[in-house]
Chain A
Amino acid sequence: MKVDRRSFLGLGLGAAAGITVSPMMLKIMDDSSILTQTTKTWPWALDHPPFDGEVSYESSVCSLCPGSCGISVRKIDDRPVKIEGLADYPINDGGACLHGIAGLQYLYDPARVKTPLKKNGDKFEEISWDDAIALVAGKLSDIRKSGSPEKLACIADKGQGSVSGLFKRLLKTFGSPNFYTMPSLESYLEVTAAALHGEGKTIGFDLENANFVLSFGAGIIEGWGSPVNCFKANASRKDRHAKLYQIEPRLSNTAANADKWIPIKPGTQADLALGMCAVILKNNLFNSMATGFTGFSKLTAMLQKEYSPSKTSEITGVKAADIEKMAISFAKAKMPLAVFGKGRGDGAQSLKEMAAVHTLNCLVGNINKKGGAFILPKNDYLEFPGESMDNTARKGFSKAKTGRYVNQLVEKVNASSKPVVEALFVYNSNPCYALHNPKSVKEAIGKIPFVVSFSSYLDETAMEADIVLPSHTFVERLEDVPSGAGLAKTVVGLTKPVIEPVFDTKNPGDAVISIAKALEGSIAENFEWESYEECLENVTSGIWDSLSEDGVAVISEGVPSGFVNVNISFIANNPVTIQAQGDYDLTLIPIDNMRLISAGTAASPFAIKTVADTVLKGTDIVVEINPLTAKGLKDKGFATLTTPMGTARVKVNLNEGMMPGVIGMVEGLGHTFDNKFVSNKGVNVNDLIGPVIESGSGLDAAFGIKAKIS
């Protein structure tokens, strides 16, 4: 027998037949088909399917924005997997916005600070909580010993709530009056209420009942006020046969949804409001109570002289006949309501504009009436025990604040060659991103020798800090969340931890208490609580039962009663209207978009993904411009936008919904910190706009800036 070609053929055929008849082929085919479906095969899929476990729901309150919505967190065993709106909650009644539902993404944000950090040269190094607190306390003690305790400053996102209360208390007992808040709708409402009705008050807008809403650029469905509450009020508008007139330079979603859009030259809303006041006064359509307002006759005289319909028309670009018609319809409406706060209401605003718009409310007599503007006492449910202060504290605290608002603080720090502020606390805010001209804010923070950030994320401001004491996110912490932001009722909600802290972070309240205790002496005496939890229970004792049992305490609801004093002297003096900075022909204005967040916290990866191509195309920001203005520019083409503050490469969206002469750029993009999902996309519009301080109020009132595009 000889081994030849046929033998090998037999061998091959035999092997093939053997393999085919064996179960191997069938099994491999079956497994291969399963393999294509498993997460094991796809690197971009999860390492494992979601864990199975017991489903439960926990109620809490969202504190991502001032909306303060009730949320229901769906959990599988101990792991939160979904956020939904909480049914029957007095603010949002089951509704939720896209930022709220994506709130869990913040928990695992790539930019989260996982443990306390200390800056060494240009880099951060990890340190323990004990070392970090000792370091902060040591530095603060040195400042105090030097006899200038007022050189400790704090910038927080808001003035209300017990955590801000603890920061204020620490500063006061330390000896510093320098507590600042970032601009917010709530702070503007308080400033306006103070100008017209006296200190300690705020304004609520009864949008749910008003039947003629005159919105001076307030983005009712773009995130103004308490967003979900506003969505609901707007959604019921048609059923209630209520009208909405939107006055702004751009056909925003709110304008498109309104009964009428009145395009107006940017920054002239105050003039239009005053022009309308003049028509109401001229036609005797005002409420009889108005004659008793302080400054009424002066206002009447001023308006007759300065704000005739034709003059107003010239300033604002709105036709004189339209101004008259609109003013008369407003005054004759059963429940009229004028709303101020351009966009989301937390950007730069002018007191003249806010006071002028609110004067409309006062003149038509809708103050503390159903569907009108409610003058509410400031949310003061907190009962902190009285402070005991030593001499250093008393002396320091009695000194004047370095600046009236945070912008002036920045200005003063930059203007002085000596350190005006020795140490700065930054809590829950990102001034190096959110204020106009962030470059100068960074410069100021760089000049402050010791900066402590209490941020959860290594954002633009935390990057500039010397110490980062990382805070729990809103799903990991306990905190009281007072409503505000133009709501017509006063509600305090309780944010509760729904998951054990993912990293080595602390409740900022606990961090402040630890610092105070480490400072010893009279400061520590004012912080004798074992923990923030004990402090919260103690200072909210009046409402703690309902907070802890129901998760919410409704402090006031319905139409407030009582006489409201109205003083319109501020507006009767006709303060100067702010002009945009620069000499170019066009005006750049910021646009608020519901899908982005313009304040400190960046939008979540989910929210960023939902932004339209007409706002952000890839990593390029898209600006809106009217085809009549965009001479020589191509739709979807690139252009260079120049303002006195800087230049940016932008894409162009030719849009007839934007007034000629105006360029619109969205707020909330252009973050630069280390988060691959949200950073390095587009441009931060604040980089292109500089602050313009309004004389009298001291507010940064820059509604935009002059610009050119080529």
Chain B
Amino acid sequence: MSEIENKAENGSTESAGECTSGDTKDDKGLGLGVIFFIVAFVVCFLSGTLLFPKLLYSKKEQPFNFDHELHVSEAGDCDACHSVREDGSFTGIPKLAVCLDCHAEDPLGETEDEVVFVEEYVNKEKEVPWLVYARQPDCVFFSHAAHTTNTDCKVCHGPIGESNSSRVYEENRLTGYSRDIWGKNIFGIKKHSWDRMKMDDCAECHKKETGHQGYCFQCHK
């Protein structure tokens, strides 16, 4: 055996000996390490899941409360107010002029919201600065005209027509977009088709309905 090989053999024996004696000594240290690991894991996981969304989203109130259910019963279906124009573009949230088709005369109803609406906006001829829950990023093209012919509004927007009050609008502090796009569930898990409005959700429905998830340029023109 060469000198080098001897040294190597001796060295390994020495280090193995140290390790054996140390094992019994460090058992407690390892135990504490595991506890630290678990505590840190739980704290960070819970922070990332519960505290992070609270920091990420700011809460904003709508200018005043809007009763969709009442309007549906009085005015008719969604397209009574949210219509598609002749050129195929979508009107989105109606302008003040559309509201005034019905609200032009004396205030309709006696709610506080009606007072705010009339005093702040109708009398001042100011558009209501509604916060739009479903606004998609600037880089996305979406045609309502192409979708509403065979898809119910509910599929994407949920049963909003049955609500009596406006939800709090949560704005992503980083991107400026609504929380509705990612979905209420921070893990991105959805129960209903309208829980999320991300690209994957578009693709999922397209795949189901048309057999293909669609091409990039169809929406990102």
Please report A residues at the B interface, Cβ cutoff 8 Å: 1-4, 6-19, 21-28, 30-32, 34-35, 37-40, 49, 52-55, 77
Residue contact B44 to A54, C-beta cutoff 8 Å: no
Residue contact A15 to B43, C-beta cutoff 8 Å: yes
Residue contact B138 to A38, C-beta cutoff 8 Å: yes
Q: Which residue of B lies closest to A18 (CB)?
A: B44
Residue contact A54 to B29, C-beta cutoff 8 Å: no
Bound complex: CA A381 to CA B30 (Å): 102
Bound complex: CA A8 to CA B36 (Å): 7
Give residues 30-87 of B contacting A (CB, 8 Å): 30-49, 52, 56, 85, 87
Bound complex: CA A358 to CA B187 (Å): 83
Give residues 108-159 of B contacting A (CB, 8 Å): 137-139
Interface of A is mostly: helix
Total contacts A-B at CB 8 Å = 124
Contacts of B34 in A (CB 8 A): 10
**Given A19-B44, A23-B188, A31-B172, 18 more contacts at CB 8 Å?**
A1-B31, A2-B28, A3-B32, A6-B32, A10-B33, A21-B41, A22-B52, A23-B48, A23-B186, A27-B186, A30-B182, A34-B174, A34-B175, A38-B175, A38-B176, A40-B175, A40-B176, A55-B85
B5 within 8 A of A: no
B165 within 8 A of A: no
Contacts of A3 in B (CB 8 A): 32
Contacts of A19 in B (CB 8 A): 44-45, 47-48
Bound complex: CA A30 to CA B109 (Å): 44
**Per a CB cutoff under 8 Å, which of A14, A22, A53 touches B36?**
A14
Contacts of B164 in A (CB 8 A): none
Closest 8 CB pairs of A and B: A22-B48, A18-B44, A14-B40, A10-B33, A24-B48, A14-B37, A10-B37, A18-B45
Q: Would you give the shortest CB distance from B173 to chain A, in whole angstroms?
A: 9
Contacts of A37 in B (CB 8 A): 137-139
Residue contact A23 to B36, C-beta cutoff 8 Å: no
Known contacts A18-B48, A38-B176, A39-B138; is-contact A12 B28 (Cβ 8 Å): no
Q: Would you give the shortest CB distance from B23 to chain A, in whole angstroms?
A: 13
Q: Which residue of A lies closest to B30 (CB)?
A: A6
Total chain B interface residues with beta-carbon distance under 8 A? 43
**Per a CB cutoff under 8 Å, which of B33, B138, B174, B176 touches A7?**
B33
**Per a CB cutoff under 8 Å, which of B33, B172, B187 touches A23?**
B187
Known contacts A14-B40, A40-B176; is-contact A22 B49 (Cβ 8 Å): yes
B166 within 8 A of A: no
Contacts of B172 in A (CB 8 A): 31
Residue contact A35 to B48, C-beta cutoff 8 Å: no
Bound complex: CA A49 to CA B48 (Å): 32
Interface of B is mostly: helix
Contacts of B139 in A (CB 8 A): 37
Residue contact A35 to B138, C-beta cutoff 8 Å: no
* 20 sampled A-B residue pairs with Cβ under 8 A: A1-B28, A7-B33, A10-B32, A10-B33, A14-B38, A16-B44, A17-B44, A18-B43, A18-B48, A22-B44, A22-B48, A22-B49, A23-B49, A27-B56, A34-B137, A34-B175, A37-B138, A40-B176, A52-B89, A54-B85
B26 within 8 A of A: yes
Bound complex: CA A18 to CA B46 (Å): 8
B163 within 8 A of A: no
Contacts of A1 in B (CB 8 A): 28-29, 31-32
**Per a CB cutoff under 8 Å, which of A2, A31, A53 touches B175?**
A31
Contacts of A6 in B (CB 8 A): 26, 29-30, 32-33
Contacts of B43 in A (CB 8 A): 15, 18
Residue contact A7 to B175, C-beta cutoff 8 Å: no
B92 within 8 A of A: yes
Q: Would you give the shortest CB distance from B113 to chain A, in whole angstroms?
A: 25
Bound complex: CA A11 to CA B89 (Å): 55
**Per a CB cutoff under 8 Å, which of B29, B85, B89, B91 touches A2?**
B29
Q: Would you give the shortest CB distance from A40 to chain B, in whole angstroms?
A: 5
Which of B28, B29, B92 neighbours the largest number of chain A CB atoms within 10 Å of its CB?
B29
**Per a CB cutoff under 8 Å, which of B37, B48, B176, B177 touches A13?**
B37
Bound complex: CA A39 to CA B137 (Å): 10
Q: Would you give the shortest CB distance from A530 to chain B, in whole angstroms?
A: 25
Known contacts A40-B176, A55-B87; is-contact A7 B38 (Cβ 8 Å): no
Bound complex: CA A19 to CA B56 (Å): 15
Contacts of B30 in A (CB 8 A): 6
Q: Would you give the shortest CB distance from B19 to chain A, in whole angstroms?
A: 15
Residue contact A24 to B175, C-beta cutoff 8 Å: no
Which of B32, B43, B47 neighbours the largest number of chain A CB atoms within 10 Å of its CB?
B32
Q: Would you give the shortest CB distance from A24 to chain B, in whole angstroms?
A: 4
Bound complex: CA A18 to CA B48 (Å): 8
Bound complex: CA A26 to CA B186 (Å): 10
Bound complex: CA A19 to CA B95 (Å): 44
Bound complex: CA A305 to CA B186 (Å): 98
Bound complex: CA A17 to CA B85 (Å): 51
Bound complex: CA A551 to CA B38 (Å): 79
Residue contact B33 to A9, C-beta cutoff 8 Å: yes
Q: Would you give the shortest CB distance from B188 to chain A, in whole angstroms?
A: 7
Q: Which residue of A lies closest to B140 (CB)?
A: A37
Q: Would you give the shortest CB distance from A16 to chain B, in whole angstroms?
A: 8
Bound complex: CA A24 to CA B43 (Å): 13
Bound complex: CA A12 to CA B174 (Å): 27
Known contacts A1-B28, A22-B47, A35-B175; is-contact A27 B42 (Cβ 8 Å): no
Known contacts A23-B188, A27-B182; is-contact A17 B32 (Cβ 8 Å): no
Residue contact B174 to A32, C-beta cutoff 8 Å: yes
Bound complex: CA A77 to CA B97 (Å): 12
Q: Which residue of B lies closest to A48 (CB)?
A: B138
Bound complex: CA A40 to CA B186 (Å): 23
Q: Which residue of A lies closest to B92 (CB)?
A: A52
Residue contact B89 to A55, C-beta cutoff 8 Å: yes
Bound complex: CA A53 to CA B127 (Å): 13
Bound complex: CA A39 to CA B138 (Å): 8
Bound complex: CA A17 to CA B188 (Å): 19
Q: Which residue of B lies closest to A9 (CB)?
A: B33
Q: Which residue of A lies closest to B48 (CB)?
A: A22
Bound complex: CA A14 to CA B44 (Å): 8
Bound complex: CA A34 to CA B87 (Å): 29
**Per a CB cutoff under 8 Å, which of B45, B56, B87, B175 touches A22?**
B45
Contacts of B37 in A (CB 8 A): 10-11, 13-14, 17
Q: Which residue of A lies closest to B175 (CB)?
A: A34
Residue contact B182 to A10, C-beta cutoff 8 Å: no
Residue contact A10 to B36, C-beta cutoff 8 Å: yes
Contacts of B33 in A (CB 8 A): 6-7, 9-10
Q: Would you give the shortest CB distance from B175 to chain A, in whole angstroms?
A: 4
Q: Would you give the shortest CB distance from A27 to chain B, in whole angstroms?
A: 7
Q: Would you give the shortest CB distance from B99 to chain A, in whole angstroms?
A: 15
Bound complex: CA A25 to CA B56 (Å): 12
